[in-house]
Structure 1
Amino acid sequence: MSFLTLKSIHVILMVTWFAGLFYLPRLYVYHAMLDNDPKGDERFKIMERKLFWGIMTPGGILTIATGLTMVFVYHDIGVWLHIKLTLVALLIFYHIWCGKLLNDFKYNRNQRSHVWYRWFNEFPVVILIPIVFLVIYKPF
């Protein structure tokens, strides 16, 4: 497989992962706003579970796998990559935190407001921007 093919697959998978990272917390916003709606609660639980386990987690795992493959096979290592990998580690932590919140909703233990989830939802954007600039410019 050529480097550009692997890189293209990596970007496609990254977009898939980020779709979940952007949308799952948005579902949490609306889920947290429900008031005495058992059918709506169950509907959100199903959507959240399917998004987390069916799209987000496979996308994240495969994004990381293709990224590490590029690093190990093509050895394009610089300071920029160390910074990027640190930011990816933060995304992995965020992903795991989303899974913990998924379980909180699943077992009716959510204690956070929709406003908190609105702020929580912004974190992936804060990480995506520097990652894109690091990859495109490779400044260090």
Structure 2
Amino acid sequence: MIERQTDSAPGRRARLRAIVALTVFVALLVALFAGQPDNLYLWIKALHIIAVISWMAGLLYLPRLFIYHTDAPSGSVQSETFKTMERRLMKVIMNPAMMIAWVLGLYLAWSVYGFRGGWLHAKLLCVVLLTLVHVHFSRAVTSFQQDANRKSARYWRLMNEAPTLLMILIVILAVVKPF
């Protein structure tokens, strides 16, 4: 019998690897905060950027899966494969990455900027909007899991642009700090 990636055993192994990776990440954070190195800010900033990149990768990839999933007949092997991919991407990568990005980002906003600055408020608004896109995608995953998607491939192509536009705004606000 050939083991497929949609079988439960590979899913359990992937979940275990994700738990180990998250545990290592959290242990690193705890060690950094406990040790209070002189360059703590740089470490936190680096880990924040890693979390943001992981989150953005999921936000950019998931709607592409939705586009292809809309063309797959309900109950087909292809549809079931997309369901597995979407569920694992959301639960194993996107949700943890989003939470880590938020926690570390809020820590940096508080410790470095004291939540002051028009650019910071605008950036936080964009991150809230990005989080709402994430929530919308999460609900879509649930909808696809139940074979209840009512959106077209064209809709998901347009929705694929939302994270990109918000990412561009967030990066410009964070780097240029225009106001």
CA separation in 2, counterparts of 1:22 and 1:55?
A: 12
- State the SS of the aligned residue for 1:110: coil
> Cα distance, 1:73 vs. partner?
1.9
Separation in 2, partners of 1:67, 1:10: 6
* 2:88 matches 1:69: no
Q: Name the aligned partner's letter for residue 58 of structure 2.
A: G
Partner of 1:130: 169
Whole-Å separation in 2 of the counterparts to 1:85 and 1:122: 19
- How many residues align structurally? 140
The alpha-carbon deviation at position 83 of structure 1 amounts to 0.1
Residue 75 of structure 1, CA deviation: 2.6
Q: Which runs of 5+ in 2 are unaligned?
A: 1-31, 33-39
Kept in 1, the 8 Å contact 2:73–2:79? The answer is no
For 1:106 and 1:16, the matched residues in 2 are separated by 23
Which amino acid counterpart does residue 89 of structure 1 have in structure 2?
A: V
1:95 match:
134
Partner of 1:106: 145
Asked if 1 retains the 8 angstrom alpha-carbon contact of 2:74 and 2:147, the reply is no
Q: Structure 1 residue 10 and structure 2 residue 48: aligned?
A: yes
Matched, 1:27 2:27: no
Instruction: String of CA shifts for 1:82-131, please: whole Å, max 9, x gaps.
Output: 00000000011110000110111001111111111111111001101111
Q: Deviations over 1:21-68 (max 9, x none)?
A: 000111000000113661111100000000000000100000000001
Identity of aligned residues (%): 36
Instruction: Give the CA RMSD over aligned residues.
Output: 1.2
Considering only CA atoms, is the larger Rg found in Structure 1 or Structure 2? 2
**TM-score, length-normalised on structure 1?**
0.95
**In the superposition, relative to structure 1, how do residues 36 and 17 fare at CA in structure 2: closer, same or farther (>3 Å)?**
closer
Q: Normalising by structure 2, what TM-score? A: 0.75
Where does structure 1 lack aligned partners over 5 or more consecutive residues? none
Please give the alpha-carbon distance, in whole angstroms, between the structure 2 residues aligned to 1:73 and 1:83. Answer: 18
